[in-house]
Each structure stands twice: as structure tokens, then as C-alpha cells.
Structure 1
Amino acid sequence: MRRRFDREISGMAAEDALGNHPCRGVRPASRCTRSADKETLQAENRMRVCLTRIIYCRCPASLLLGILLISQSAPFATAAPAASRGADEIRVLLVTGMDHPAHDWRRTTPALKEVLAQDRRLRVEVLEDPYRLDSQDLSRFHVVLLHFCNWERPDPNDKAKENLRSFVQRGGGLFLLHFASGAFRDWPEFPTLAGKVWDRKNSHDPRGPFRVSILEANHPVTRGVGSFDTDDELYTCLTGNVSVEVLASARSKVTQQDHPMAFVHRYGAGRVFHTPLGHDERAIRSAGTSELIRRGCAWAAGREAVQPGKIDQGLVR
């Protein structure tokens, strides 16, 4: 038995020297370098080291162990680089942590993350302190989503404002949700950045049901999305002199006028999506509003929206 095993090992060594490696059809490194990448070459080198040890030990158990180790540590189909696997990711910084007393950000923030997660490209990082915008590296993100209002508190400082402004100016996406229109009250540039802001002389209809009418059927945010019913606050308080493209509107029972429920505009090289919808977690999770949230976020990032009906329904509660 020992002699037969010695002959087999000697034959393997001889074939290896001739370039006819018997194990799993692997060729010598001199041939592999023409067609394999560095990782595969290193795997084959480890294989030859193991076979050399097997020949030295002359032990069938060592032969089995060497083959098992090679099969675990040297896969021939290499994994894609992390950058390639994450090429479709849309990184979103969700800025929250303070709001008007009527807005419970501790409840709406998880609901908003849940809605965004239905588009698996969206990767959300939460910042629960808007004042820390002055120290954030916003270049790591595709979109900054403002979900706060510094109600009866001072604005974030000038460094935070310039960090946000320059991010959008250079091509970053900005998304404003609900009462984010009331943030940065003492920043003269904010109305231009946001498109429209909260007018303190006006307010909103009482919370209740109303219909949101889609006005631009061919815009990427609203393409394929029909008009829908929701139960929310209908803002009649937005004002501004910036030219915006209104994508959706609703008729106020108080003013008997139509008011914008979703609109977009450009700031420098950046895209801005703004919706006053989303008063609480129930409003955020409503089918039509959640669809606008996901699609508006993708558009702000410069990406195609996931078509209606193709979101990950398994994540819907």
C-alpha cells in the first residue's frame, strides 16, 4: 500500500514538473498568468506548496487535508470588488433630531427609513443633530434629506449652511420633507435653495383626507404614478420667488385653491426635490406619498426611479 502511494505521489510530482498538474485541472503559474488575475495565481502557488508538503510527508491523510484546505482557501471564481457591488447604491444623509412640537421626529424618522428601504439602492445614514452639519463630509453622500425644523432654536451655524449650500451647488441632491420648509429661518439663501419656504402668515388645512393630483405625467419622479388619496396636512403656507416645476398639487378646503404637493428645481449643478407631505408616520407610509418619497430621492441623486410595482413589497408593513 505504501509503495503504491509513493508511486502515485512521484507521478504527481513528475506531472507537475511537466506542466500537467493533476489536481482539478490547474495549470502551472507560467500559463495562468496569461489568463488569470493575481488572486488566482496566488491560489495556485499555495496549491503547489501544499503538494510539496504532501510529497515530503508521504501521508494519505496529509493529501486529503491539503486538498480540503485548498478547496476552502482558493476559490477559482473571484468575488467582485466592493466598489462594483455597490455601484448602484444611493447614499442618503437623513438630517433629523428636532422639529415643531406637533412633529414627533422619533417616530417619523424610522417610518421614513422604512419607506426608503423599499428601494434597495437607498442606503440611509441618520444624523440626529442638524448642528453637526458643519462637520459632516457631505461628499460621501448622493442626497441630503432634511427632515427637521429648528423651531424656536437658532439656525445651524454659517459653516453648516455653507457646507450644505456648496454640496448642492457642486451637484449633490437635496430633499426637503414636510416642515423642513420652516428650517433655517435666518438664512437668506435658504428660500433659493429650497425653492419654497414656510410663510409664517399662513398655515395648513386641518389634518384630514384629500386628493393629490399628478400634474406632470412625464417627469421621472411622477412617470407612471397616478393621482392618489391621502390623509395628511395640506400646506397652504409655502411661498417663494424661485421658478419651480410643480409635479403634484392638492385643492385646499380652506382657500379653495390648488397648492403644490411636490415640486423640483435646480440649484447650481444640484437637484432639489421638495414635498410638504408626510406629517406623521401614517402619512409617510401611505402608498402615494411613500412612492413620491422614494422616487424623489432617486431623482435628486440623478438616478432613474424604480417603477411603481417594482419596489421590494416584502418590506411593506
Structure 2
Amino acid sequence: MADQTGSRIDVTLVAGGKYHDIDFARLELLKLLAEHEEFRVRVQPDYEDHEAITASSILVSYTCDVRPSEEAQHAIRAWVEGGGRWVALHGTNAALQMGGPNGVEAPRCQPVWSETLGSQFVAHPPIQPYPVQISAPDHWLVEGIESFDTDDELYLQEHADRDALEPLLHTTWTGDAKGFAESDWSLETAGTDTHLIMYLRSLGDGAVLYNTLGHCRGHYDMVPVLDYYPAIERCSWEQPAYYEILRRSLRWARGETS
């Protein structure tokens, strides 16, 4: 897909789901999308109107536990293979089951989705500062960005084929993901202490750019688990580097290469 400066570019933004301040994330992403005058943006809360998604050139998603139907999964995969560009953020790869006896579970219930995205969320340790390190300093999407600390959810994921992914950001961590059924992320159990934060996943003529950063939560986003959540969490949304990476991601989505 070449740079389409001077011609309309249709974009679908999917923003919806649980346990996050979707209103905040949606607004911040719309502000960034509005920096591109050619973008004409359609917003929807899930992936079921896949005909609208596949009629677009770009998909941007910020969701959590939004599980697409098999029809939507296959349609969006085919769209990526045909040349679509997908900027997938934070919990797009998450399916959650609350209330299990051993903590929050991550059911492997959408294999086509996970394989298309290149990852499946499994757990995260309690929100705490951790370093975001640059995996590919010569790649223009992260070139010139210094490693930075962020106070965010550190996503621990499964990858069907990690070798098929092009790492851009990563961190190193081992420990206990307290509150999750799969909580043991020691080196002996996980087999690695390196966790991808942002990567490219090529698929046919298109690609997915996945970025796990960007947790956010307000007082009323844990209903019905909690009626009132005491903290306001903005995490990486408070980091200038995160906004720079998002801006570059949208340039990538429209076909720019530098």
C-alpha cells in the first residue's frame, strides 16, 4: 500500500470491551486519527460489522474481551492477507474468564484471531513500572526513541509462531502474575524472560502492528466486578514516547515507510 496523500483513506476504529476506560482511549485515538486530513473514520464497538472493516484501508483496534465471531475472524484475516493494515492495541488479543477458582483465566477460544494477531494474552503482573526496550533501533517505527520506563500492564502472551514476528519493543521480566490462573512466569516455566511489547506480523500482502501498551481505567470501568474503582489509571498514555509511537503507527498504516 503506497502513501495515499491527497486521496481519501477509509479507517475503521473498533473501541469497546471490558475493564478499561474505553471512552478515554477512543477519544485519544480519534484525536490522533484527526491529524490525517485524508482519514475518514468510522467507529464501532466490536468486529461484527466486518463488511465495514473490510471496506476500509486501515483498522485500528482498542478492545478487551471482545470476541469476534468465526465469520468476523475469517473475514478480517482475509482482509489483512489482501493488503489491509491493522494497528492492534492493548487487549485486542485478550479473552478473559473472571471468577475462576485459581484466578482470571485466558480461554484459548479464538485460535484464528490469535494466529492472525500473532499473540494471545495470558496474564499480566500487577501494574508496576518496567522498562520498555528498543528491539530494532534501526527500524523507522522506533528509530531514535530512547528506552523508557512505563507504569502499565506488562502483557504475558502466547505466540503460535514467534519467529514469524518482527520485534520492535520488548521487556525482560520473570515472576508471579498474581490474580491469574496461569501465574507462574519463572524462567523455568515460561522458557524465556523476554516479552514482546510491540511487533510487526506480516500476513500475505498486509500486516498487523501490535502494541500491548496503553492500559487505562476510570472509576466505573470494573462494573459489575466493582461498583467503584478507586484509582484513575492512565499508564503509558502519560508517556510522550507512547504518543510518538502511535503517530508513527498511523503513518505506517497509511503506507509510509519512514
TM-score normalized with structure 2 length: 0.71
Match of 2:6 in 1: 86
- TM-aligned CA distance change 1:164 to 1:285, over 3 Å: farther
**Superposed displacement of residue 285, structure 1:** 4.5
Match of 2:245 in 1: 292
**Superposed displacement of residue 249, structure 1:** 0.9
**Superposed displacement of residue 196, structure 1:** 1.3
| Cα deviation code 1:3-45 (max 9, x no counterpart) | xxxxxxxxxxxxxxxxxxxxxxxxxxxxxxxxxxxxxxxxxxx
Match of 1:149 in 2: 64
**Superposed displacement of residue 166, structure 1:** 1.5
| Long gaps (5+) in structure 1 | 1-83, 306-317
Letter in 1 for 2:147: S
Letter in 2 for 1:222: V
Matched, 1:129 2:50: no
**Superposed displacement of residue 263, structure 1:** 0.6
| Cα deviation code 1:39-98 (max 9, x no counterpart) | xxxxxxxxxxxxxxxxxxxxxxxxxxxxxxxxxxxxxxxxxxxxx9733x6543111222
Letter in 1 for 2:69: N
Structure-to-structure mapping, 1:153-302, within 5 angstroms:
155-183=67-95, 186-199=109-122, 203-242=123-162, 243-252=164-173, 254=175, 255=186, 257-280=193-216, 281-302=234-255
Bigger relative CO (Cα 8 Å, ≥ 6 apart): 2
- TM-aligned CA distance change 1:92 to 1:179, over 3 Å: same
Query: Would the aligned equivalents of 1:168 and 1:268 in 2 still touch at CA under 8 Å?
Result: yes
- TM-aligned CA distance change 1:206 to 1:178, over 3 Å: same
- TM-aligned CA distance change 1:215 to 1:122, over 3 Å: farther
Matched, 1:98 2:14: no
Q: Specify the SS of the correspondent of 1:160.
A: helix
- TM-aligned CA distance change 1:94 to 1:267, over 3 Å: same
Query: Would the aligned equivalents of 2:121 and 2:156 in 1 still touch at CA under 8 Å?
Result: no
Tell me, in whole angstroms, the C-alpha distance in 2 between the residues paired with 1:251 and 1:146.
26
Tell me, in whole angstroms, the C-alpha distance in 2 between the residues paired with 1:90 and 1:291.
21
Q: Specify the SS of the correspondent of 1:191.
A: helix
Letter in 1 for 2:117: A
**How many correspondences in the alignment?**
211
- TM-aligned CA distance change 1:137 to 1:228, over 3 Å: closer
Letter in 2 for 1:274: Y
**Higher share of residues assigned helix:** 1
**Higher share of residues assigned strand:** 2
Identical columns (%): 28
**Superposed displacement of residue 104, structure 1:** 2.1
Larger Rg: 1
TM-score normalized with structure 1 length: 0.59
